[in-house]
Amino acid sequence: MISIRHLTTALILTASLGAAAQKTSKEQLPAGFSPATTTLLVEHIPEKTTPKSSENSGYDAWTYYFMRKNGDEMEKYLQKNYPYKYQLATQKEIYTDSAYNDAKTYRYALVATLIPVDNYMKYMQNGQWKMTNNQPIFQYYIFDRVEKITYAPLSKGSSLVMWAFKQGVRKASKAE
């Protein structure tokens, strides 16, 4: 069964990417995914990118700030912990035909999304109303660029982008 969070994320991705991501899967990894035989595109946000110039309107300035801030650490983590071929790519390069249009070589991408804050007023047992303080959650997914399928999150995610990234990289590197 697909979780509410997965459906919400799929809707965010679909709405922000248009026709690029119309299908989802409840599996975390594609049946044909083998890190040893493909070059994984890894979503990267260049230093000068702002939400206004992004392909994904679902991201906000907060998301961009933390992904840019951790960009160097993400690349270092990949170099040390992902022993297979990978290429950093922008959202535009991942979701549209680009320099990476060779489907055999660049079929899969590791992409991020942000589950928005779910703040609401909650009625407490003491008779008072209280605002919830939930934090947004970063999650990483595999996106099949040929079939246009977004797979289920590679982990539960984290409010810290680096933790979510590390979980995603570990899961992707263990696929064989």
Q: What is the pLDDT of residues 102-149, one digit of tens each?
A: 888 999 999 988 776 666 677 788 888 876 666 778 889 999 999 999
Q: What is the pLDDT of residues 44-72, one digit of tens each?
A: 876 665 555 455 445 556 666 777 778 88
pTM of the model: 0.73
Confidence of residue 157 (pLDDT cuts 50, 70, 90): confident
| Spatial distance between the Cα atoms of 50 and 55, rounded to a whole number of angstroms | 10
The predicted pLDDT at position 117 comes to 66
Q: Where are the domains of the chain?
A: 33-173
The identity of residue 37, as a single letter, is: T
| Spatial distance between the Cα atoms of 52 and 123, rounded to a whole number of angstroms | 37
Size of the chain, expressed as the number of residues it contains = 176
* H or E segment and range at residue 79: helix 71-81
